[in-house]
Amino acid sequence: MSVLRPFQASDMFKFNNVNLDIWTETYNIGFYLHYLSRWPDLCCVQEAPTGRMMGYVIGKAEGQGAEWHGHVTAITVAPEYRRLSLARKMMSLLELVSDEIYRGFFVDLYVRCNNLVALELYEGMDYSVYRRVREYYGNLGVGKGGRDEEDAFDMRKPLSRDGARRSVRSNGRDIVVSAHDVS
Amino acid sequence: MSIALDRQIRPIYDSLDTGANKSAIVGCNKLLKKHPKNALVQALKALALVRSQKVEEALALCDEVLEYKPTDDATLNAMMHVLRGLGRHKDMITMYEAAYKKQPANEELGAQTFFANVRANNWKSAQQVASKMYKQFQEDRYLYWSAISTVLQANDPNTAAEMRTLLYKLALRLITSSPASSHVHPDRFHLHLTILRELREFDEAMALLETPNGQNICQTNLACNEIRRDIMRLRGALEDEGRRAEQRILNKNDRNWLEFLSVVDGTFSHLTVSKPSEDAREQCLSKVSNTLALFTKISVQDGKKDRSGLLGLLELESRSRKHGISTDPTRMVQLLKQYFETFGDKACCYEDLKPYVSLEGGDLAAWTEFLKASPPPLSTTENVKRVINTHKLLRYNLSASELTVEAESSRAVLYIEQYLEGLPLGKDLPVTELQHVDDFAILAASVFVNIWKLNGDIKYLYNAVVLLEFALSQSKQAFQMRLMLIRIYRLLGSPSVALEHYRLLGIKQVQNDTLSHFILSRASTFSLAASGDLTLSTECVESSQIYISNSQETSDFVIRAFSGEKYSQIPQFILFENWLDNSLQRDIVKLEYLRMRITHEVISSEVIDLELIELKFVFDRIHHDNRDLEIIPNYQPRDVESFNAQTMMFEKSEGHGWVWSFLKSYIKAFSQASDLDDVVEEKLLVGDRPQAAGPAKTGTLKERLAIREKEELAELTSDELSLISYADALAEWLEPFHDHVRPPASVVLAEAAKQTELKTGMPLKGVDITPPNGHVKKEEDTPPITEAPEDLVKFFENMKARFETVENAESPNEALHVATLTQEAFLLFVIETLRFKSASVVKIHKLGNLVAKFKPIRAIAAGILKDMAGSLEKMSALEGTSEKRRDFVSACMLPSSQMDDDFQMNIAKKVTDSRKKVEEGVAKGLMRLCSTYEQ
Ligand SMILES: CC(C)(COP(=O)(O)OP(=O)(O)OC[C@H]1O[C@@H](n2cnc3c(N)ncnc32)[C@H](O)[C@@H]1OP(=O)(O)O)[C@@H](O)C(=O)NCCC(=O)NCCS
């Protein structure tokens, strides 16, 4: 049981149990307010009935022409609430809004190549690797990460507007680009 | 502007962009030689000056530019930054208003005028500007700007209650006057619904919601759907809403818990009146059985995939019991069992069930028996979670008689055994993951803390830290353990170890507001600032950066939300800005910082003046408590204090009352010691006075300072309370002499103006510099010299006695608390008597007899402080010995196969070294302050 509701600015006071986890970054205030001031419908929270935050997703819509798409900037679930399908539900909402409101062609996201749990989640939801981005992330500071820690997979899932699945490709893992090619 | 000049100005912008303020100033000066009255160059120079903290010079230039009433974008833009830097939002409004008036067809100027009002929370004028813009430019957007400004004006705490409805009605009229309807745009729709909800115009709201567009928006937009749900509830349409929710659950597979709650609310809608009829009960009973069937169906269908169905059943039964219509007395426990069997291996099981397990009598016995029956072997991670949940659930219901030291001790032993037994299950986990068995260690540590609370034996805290340190070494990301450790190390009087852990948490940005209490709560107890170690005061400064970011950045996003028409966000952003700006923690840290600062810096009239102005701003705030206390795990039984309460230093949490108590004492002392009275301050103030966040506090400053509310004082420790009474007695004694000696406002202002002119070459605006002629000296005679209140010396003597009773305690905290408060009292004495240090003041005002009374008090205080320093010295020498470390290790009852002697010794060393350091440092600080201020 969890409450799905919009992310609000004051959630920044409540997200510690989610953000103290190593995979989740705490950005400056402007980061969250920027997203909320443009794509509030792509940012949502899962909350326990006690009011405790369980996880959240932050997304945006961007791109030109056939590249117009929804983007998952951050998705995270507090350790004690993992494996309850919360991430899946939040992703579904983001896909729904990207599809119906923004009319995007696909949804995409970046994930550390060594984040196996997240990869599992995305692949299970029909995302596939579009390309590998070299040194997209900084290191986590827990030692011995190597390439997979700093490289990212850029993963995509086509939406209804891309019936021909033009936004994805099957050999994405072999296509390597550098970080400044993507941002 | 000529092209040549334009080219010369560009490098100035470059310098400003790269933070090279000095070279920007040089560049401006060069240009100003040729074009002395060029507004843009002057504005840019003012900006560079503001950014180099040269406020007085900037002010003078800024005023000059404002007089020209500029209209060109470049100058206005530069001035906007200058005025923001100076905190002069009102001037910004005036500037843009004048410009817009001169060029009413300039849409950009209109928008900037609107934004300037927004930044100052000037909603009424904002609304007027937006309305004017709507008439002029015919853009719907501006109509909505004026509508939401009206709503924000209504919500402003300074708006009279009876105006609220009127304003909302006005906002509604504005929206409905638009030819375009709101529901083409989710955020306009959201605003429209918000207004209708406030005005309880439910029929109109329903008409909008039932349009195809309205329905579509609610399907995809959570924020609009939230209001829709609210409106349904407010109009009492619980049944309708329940039916709708049921359809969503069945047809759309929606598992949002809010939908389940709607179904339950709908089920009991007939019983919401105070005395429901028999008929209503019958109807309700039949609805309960329908809902029962629905939720059962969902729970079977979802199985382990989703908890909502089963939890819906629990909620249904729990409400049935509350309404006295439960039909099956065994169902509650049955459902609990069923839930546990299905989801007992999920970490959230405990939290999910907690609202339903406060059972009594037979229920409790049956539930306990079920939980106790044959726990599974710890062979899989699922079983581990299950056993952990069993422990947590059993522990929750333990009664006082089951919470003896013996019983708790054997629980700790069991949890630790199981911790170690299950640990190998996670040996292959990556370092980024948590260990499955972590909660066994957390449970055991909670038990140790509880035993310490029961019998006061500090060795249980030693055991808690060793165990948690071990578990943390196995599960590096276990932040909950770190938080527990920080609390316990502080209890043990080892602040530097606590700080090390705090730093490893990687607290950033807004987390500084919500989490810094872990390390900064009553931090002056541990401060070594007096002996030159600024670690903790630096921590205060760094954690306070977030408030500066907030005041610089957040309003930009309010503006962006207006530009992007995200009306749903605007009230939220404003609320966020407000809560952070008025954060309770902010001012707790401010006070801690101040208390450290006066031990480190020489107490001078500059320090006093600056702090006084800031503290008076703080005094006008209505605080909001953003501290995150939920983050600390709590597995203590329901009848026992929470872990948070158990591990609070001195068993007291500082809240509003603590802040007010200290604030009043310091404002009193500083305003007596300062020459800045209200008149002077008003004149010298640079920016706008911060808006009071609520109905203006009533009474004069003096009256407000005199009030000491019981509830406020209740938040103080008994020693803090003594300090506050001491400070009051001191202030009361010396007040008439301060008031007599303080130079009149005109003299102080003339002096300030003279200083400014010396610095900037320009006179201070609005201040007459001609020195007041002759009548500087006050007419009245020196007030009669009175004896020092006995309370002053008594305070020091009492603190001496207090110190003697606590100096041999196991933890040095109480001794440090008493010593640092006594030191603070001494420094307050220094502050209060600073004015009378000047021999000429004493002579002119014939205060020799008064000053003579200071001496003995000061001497007694210094003598006592030196004694305390001596004792702390001795304590620190003992701490450093191997004997102390061995004591620590021999108090440990943990299995030595894993947590071996070396491991324990290492922690013993950390704890005792940290204590030694703080005792030694505080002692040194006491000595230094005595020698600085003894004479
Ligand atoms: C990735 C993350 C968001 C998943 O959240 P979650 O709510 O636990 O995920 P869900 O319960 O919705 O899982 C959906 C599916 O993902 C996969 N999955 C999730 N966690 C998994 C794990 N630990 N191992 C294997 N597969 C896993 C499974 O296929 C799962 O479906 P299933 O439970 O039916 O088998 C969460 O682990 C997390 O917050 N990690 C830290 C932050 C992070 O890495 N974010 C991603 C950055 S790109």
Q: Is B248 on the interface with A (CB under 8 A)?
A: no
Any idea how long chain B is?
935
- pLDDT tens readout for residues B377-430: 999 999 999 999 999 999 999 999 999 999 999 999 999 999 999 999 999 998
Task: Decide: helix, strand or coil at residue B253.
Answer: coil
pLDDT of B483 strictly over 90:
yes
A vs B, Cβ pairs < 8 A, gives: 149
Q: Indicate yes or no: CB of B573 within 8 angstroms of CB of A29.
A: no
Nearest residue by C-alpha to atom 48 in ligand 1:
A111
- Window A:57-116, CB contacts with B under 8 Å: 79-85, 89, 93, 96-97, 100-101
B760 band by pLDDT with thresholds 50, 70 and 90: confident
Residues of chain B contacting A14 with CB distance shorter than 8 Å: 628
Q: Indicate yes or no: CB of B630 within 8 angstroms of CB of A17.
A: yes
The span from the CA of B685 to the CA of B689, in Å, is 8
Q: What mean pLDDT do residues A129-144 have? A: 86
Predicted confidence at residue B766, as pLDDT, reads 67
pLDDT of B910 strictly over 90:
yes
Residue A26 CA to ligand 1 center (angstroms) comes to 20
The span from the CA of B223 to the CA of A97, in Å, is 13
Distances (CA, A) of B136 to B119, B142, B681: 23, 10, 43
Predicted confidence at residue B215, as pLDDT, reads 95
Predicted confidence at residue B685, as pLDDT, reads 79
Residue B577 corresponds to which tokens in the numbers above? 């800005």
The span from the CA of B870 to the CA of B868, in Å, is 5
Q: Is A23 on the interface with B (CB under 8 A)?
A: yes
- pLDDT tens readout for residues B299-358: 999 999 999 999 999 999 999 999 999 999 999 999 999 999 999 999 999 999 999 999
Q: Is B350 on the interface with A (CB under 8 A)?
A: no
| DSSP 8-state code for residue B457 | -
B764 band by pLDDT with thresholds 50, 70 and 90: confident
- pLDDT tens readout for residues B712-731: 999 999 999 999 999 999 99
pLDDT of B772 strictly over 80:
no
Comparing CA positions, the residue from B456, B430, B454, B426 lying closest to residue B440 is: B426
Predicted confidence at residue B154, as pLDDT, reads 97
User: What is the distance in angstroms between the Cα of B841 and the nearest Cα belonging to chain A?
Assistant: 51
B2 band by pLDDT with thresholds 50, 70 and 90: confident
Predicted confidence at residue A151, as pLDDT, reads 94
B779 band by pLDDT with thresholds 50, 70 and 90: low
Mean pLDDT of the residues in chain A? 94
Predicted confidence at residue B114, as pLDDT, reads 98
Of A155-164, B175-184, B449-458, B579-588, which gets the smallest average pLDDT?
A: B175-184
B84 band by pLDDT with thresholds 50, 70 and 90: very high
pLDDT of B774 strictly over 70:
no
Judge: domain A3-181, CATH 3.20.20.70.
no
Whether the CB-CB separation of B166 and B124 falls below 8 Å is answered with no
Residues of chain A contacting B348 with CB distance shorter than 8 Å: 48, 80-81, 84
The span from the CA of B91 to the CA of B82, in Å, is 11
User: What is the distance in angstroms between the Cα of B106 and the nearest Cα belonging to chain A?
Assistant: 26
Predicted confidence at residue B768, as pLDDT, reads 62
- pLDDT tens readout for residues B104-156: 999 999 999 999 999 999 999 999 999 999 999 999 999 999 999 999 999 99
Q: Indicate yes or no: CB of B575 within 8 angstroms of CB of A10.
A: yes
Predicted confidence at residue B769, as pLDDT, reads 58
Predicted confidence at residue B432, as pLDDT, reads 87
Query: Phi and psi of A46, rounded to 5°?
Result: -110, 130
User: What is the distance in angstroms between the Cα of A28 and the nearest Cα belonging to chain B?
Assistant: 6
Mean pLDDT of the residues in chain B? 94
> 10 Å Cβ neighbour count for B29?
11
User: What is the distance in angstroms between the Cα of B769 and the nearest Cα belonging to chain A?
Assistant: 45
The span from the CA of B578 to the CA of B566, in Å, is 19
> What residue type is assigned to position B803 of the chain?
F
Of B455-469, B692-706, B900-914, which gets the smallest average pLDDT?
A: B692-706
- pLDDT tens readout for residues B842-856: 999 999 999 999 999
Residue B229 CA to ligand 1 center (angstroms) comes to 30
Predicted confidence at residue B897, as pLDDT, reads 81
Predicted confidence at residue B935, as pLDDT, reads 77
- pLDDT tens readout for residues B536-563: 999 999 999 999 999 999 999 999 999 9
User: What is the distance in angstroms between the Cα of A61 and the nearest Cα belonging to chain B?
Assistant: 14
B181 band by pLDDT with thresholds 50, 70 and 90: confident
Residue A103 vs residue B55, higher pLDDT: A103
Q: Indicate yes or no: CB of B258 within 8 angstroms of CB of A3.
A: yes
Q: Indicate yes or no: CB of B355 within 8 angstroms of CB of A34.
A: no
Residues of chain A contacting B575 with CB distance shorter than 8 Å: 9-10
pLDDT of B179 strictly over 90:
no
pLDDT of A83 strictly over 80:
yes
% chain A with pLDDT above 90: 86
- The A69-77 sheet, strands edge to edge: A3-6, A43-47, A53-62, A69-77, A106-112, A152-158, A128-134, A176-178
Predicted confidence at residue B670, as pLDDT, reads 98
Q: Is B569 on the interface with A (CB under 8 A)?
A: yes
Residues of chain B contacting A1 with CB distance shorter than 8 Å: 257, 260, 307-308, 311-312, 352
Residues of chain A contacting B579 with CB distance shorter than 8 Å: 10, 13
Q: Indicate yes or no: CB of B628 within 8 angstroms of CB of A3.
A: no
Whether the CB-CB separation of A10 and B572 falls below 8 Å is answered with yes
Predicted confidence at residue B598, as pLDDT, reads 98
A144 band by pLDDT with thresholds 50, 70 and 90: low
Residues of chain A contacting B509 with CB distance shorter than 8 Å: 26-29
- Kindly state if the Cβ of A119 falls inside 6 Å of ligand 1: no
Q: Is A49 on the interface with B (CB under 8 A)?
A: yes
> What residue type is assigned to position B920 of the chain?
E
Q: Is B632 on the interface with A (CB under 8 A)?
A: no
Residue B158 corresponds to which tokens in the numbers above? 């300074």
Q: Which helix (H) or strand (E) holds B777?
A: none
Q: Which of B191, B227, B249, B256 to mutate to test the interface with A (most CBs of A within 10 A)?
A: B256
- Kindly state if the Cβ of A84 falls inside 6 Å of ligand 1: yes
Predicted confidence at residue B479, as pLDDT, reads 97
A181 band by pLDDT with thresholds 50, 70 and 90: confident
Residues of chain B contacting A79 with CB distance shorter than 8 Å: 347, 434
- pLDDT tens readout for residues A18-57: 999 988 999 999 999 999 999 999 999 999 988 999 999 9
Class of domain B3-197: mainly alpha
Atom of ligand 1 nearest to the CA of A88: 12
- Kindly state if the Cβ of A72 falls inside 6 Å of ligand 1: no
